[in-house]
């Protein structure tokens, strides 16, 4: 199944880098989001970032989404891994196996984000529930 949900970034609190070597900085961020549409939920994200020279960056994060997906109530966790350069982006966001709760127990799948020309964010989740 596919669930599509525009979302807002409610908070993006990035700490000062805790480790910097030759201009490459490591930092943490705490993020909260609100989803609407096929997914009516909120989420909390714990992110680790590496910001490189020349605009490159990489991140890993865990995101717990709590609410409903197509009316099924519960929560699940996404594992984020991504890289960014001024010319390219790559990311994968699989559902953490066994992280589904409530009506979302047994959820499997992967998500992605699309950003439109006006900066609007939309989350798409391809999933199945066993």
Per-residue pLDDT band at 88 (split at 50, 70, 90): confident
Domain range enclosing 119: 2-129
Domain count for the chain: 1
Output the pLDDT for position 89: 83
| Nearest residue to 82 via CA among 118, 112, 120 | 112
Cβ atoms of 64 and 44 within 8 Å: the answer is yes
Q: What is the CATH number of the domain that holds 90?
A: 2.40.350.10
Q: Is the pLDDT of residue 86 over 90?
A: no
Cα distance between residue 63 and residue 69, in whole Å: 15
Structure tokens at 94: 């699989």
Q: Is the pLDDT of residue 128 over 90?
A: yes
Output the pLDDT for position 38: 98
Quick one: average pLDDT of 62-72? 98
Give percent above pLDDT 90 in the chain.
82
């Amino acid at each position: 199944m596919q669930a599509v949900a525009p979302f807002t970034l409610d908070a993006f609190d990035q700490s000062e880098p805790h480790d910097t070597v030759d201009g490459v900085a490591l930092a943490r961020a705490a993020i909260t989001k609100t989803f609407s549409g096929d997914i009516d939920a909120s989420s909390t994200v714990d992110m680790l970032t590496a910001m490189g020279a020349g605009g490159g960056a990489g991140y890993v994060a865990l995101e717990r989404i709590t609410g409903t997906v197509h009316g099924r109530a519960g929560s699940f966790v996404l594992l984020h891994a991504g890289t960014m350069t001024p010319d390219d982006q790559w990311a994968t966001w699989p559902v953490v196996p066994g992280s589904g709760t409530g009506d979302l127990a047994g959820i499997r799948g992967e998500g992605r984000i699309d950003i439109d020309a006006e900066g609007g964010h939309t989350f798409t989740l391809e999933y199945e529930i066993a």
